[in-house]
Each structure stands twice: as C-alpha cells, then as structure tokens.
Amino acid sequence: MSDLAFGIDIGGSGIKGAPVDLVAGEYADKRTRIPTPQPSTPQAVADVLAKLVDTYQLSDDVPIGVAFPAPMQHGVVRSMANLDQSWTGVDLPALVQRATGRHAVAVNDADAAGVGEVRYGAARDADGVVLVATLGTGIGSALVVDGVLVPNTELGHLEIDGHDAESRAADSAREREDLSWDEWAERLQRYFGVVEDLLSPDLIVVGGGVSKHHEKYLPSLHLRAPIVPAQLRNAAGIVGAAALAAGR
C-alpha cells in the first residue's frame, strides 16, 4: 500500500490540494490553491481538479480524496449551498475519476477534517466516540466511533431552545452579535451540553479558525468529556480526505 495520497479541499472561493504523507499525516509537498471558477459548475470544478493534480508529478496509483462543502451520501451530493446549484445529485467520485483518471473518494468537508484529527491530530490516541466540531460560519461536525467515521451527522443543525444551533453558537454568531468570549462560551456550553447528552462522546475536539483562540473560551466549558483544540488546523480537511482515499 502506498504511503502517499492526494487531498483536495473544495471551497466557495478557493480549491486547495496537496500530496499527503500518510505516515506523518502532513503535506508531502507545498499546497497549491486555485480560485474556484465562477460559475462553479461541476465540469468547471472538475477541470480545476485535473489542473491541480497535474501540478505534481504523481504516480498513477496515487488516489484522490476530496473534502466537499455539502452533505453527501455515498459520494453523491444531496444539496448545495456554497457552489452552483447544479451540483445536487452529482456523483463526485465518478466526476473526479473521469477528470483525473484516478481512484477517488469524496466526503463532507467537516467529516474529512474529523478524520484528519482522529488519524493524526488532537484525537490520534483516543478510543471510543470522538466528536470533532468545526466552529466557523456554521458548525460542522464529524463523529468517529472506534476509528470509523459515521458520515453526515450535521449536528450544527440541531434545534436547541427553538433555534438552529449554529445560528447562535457558531463563530459567525459571536462576530455578528459582538459577543464577549464569556458570552459565547455560555452558548457553547449549552450546545455541547446537549450534544453530550445525546452522544456521550469520550472526547470532543474543536476546530475551525477560532480554535487558535481556544484559551479564551474552552476553559470556561464544563462537560463530562475532555474538550480540546484541533491540531491540524487548515490542513485537516486535505489530510483527512487523503487518508480516506487510501483506506487509512
């Protein structure tokens, strides 16, 4: 089994990719970013993916893992918010395989980041149930049980106290409402408390850009499970998608 795979993270403004060393869990070469085409139709994005892969000299057996910003079921896009609406119903692995000639796997971007943290990051030594939550514009979630991803959890959309959870507890809500760190921590306490009652995780990992400020809010949270900041940061999606593509 090769120790190299190629990871891609598709976003609304940029498409990023890099070869990943699957032993170390880090980039094997410099990451490349190409602006997301407008309109961001499946074929236009597929053309960018092919260009991205061709940037590197990779052997034909290197697989591709794609982190994608939408709910997915067995690689098929269920609905679309951040890219062109024509993505709904697209079989993404098949599209990538046609564009690149390589075996491909595609998962939701939060799931990819969660797998990255479990394989190589903050949860790499954890057993049992691990919840990885990414706090940003919304709340992404990944649930990994004994090392196996339970895909498409979408726990940011739980209804809590009559609200869609991410509308009050995402980092965007903190910024929009100009909340202090303590005020935001109260909302996170409520959110993670409900999730903990539902799932009883053994470890909670908090990712997203705001994780770099973890000392300002995580110590205020009091949960049964340990709650820790993510370690891979922006590399998590690419690394996790690559690991899944290689069957790691």
Could you confirm whether domain 125-231 is CATH 3.30.420.40?
yes
* CB neighbours of residue 225 within 10 Å: 18
Fold adopted by 4-111+235-245: Nucleotidyltransferase; domain 5 (3.30.420)
Domain parsing of the chain, residue ranges: 4-111+235-245, 125-231
Average pLDDT score over residue span 183-190: 98
**Tell me, what's the pLDDT at 1?**
56
Average pLDDT score over residue span 138-148: 96
pLDDT tens for 110-141 read 999 999 999 999 999 899 999 999 999 999 99
pTM exceeding the 0.85 threshold for the entire prediction: yes
Q: 4-111+235-245 and 125-231 share one CATH topology? A: yes
**Tell me, what's the pLDDT at 82?**
78
Instruction: Report which secondary-structure segment, H or E, holds 169.
Output: helix 165-169
With beta carbons less than 8 A apart as the criterion, state whether 19 and 62 touch: yes
Read off φ and ψ for residue 133, nearest 5 degrees. Answer: -120, 130
pLDDT tens for 78-88 read 988 778 999 99
Tell me which amino acid residue 165 is: A
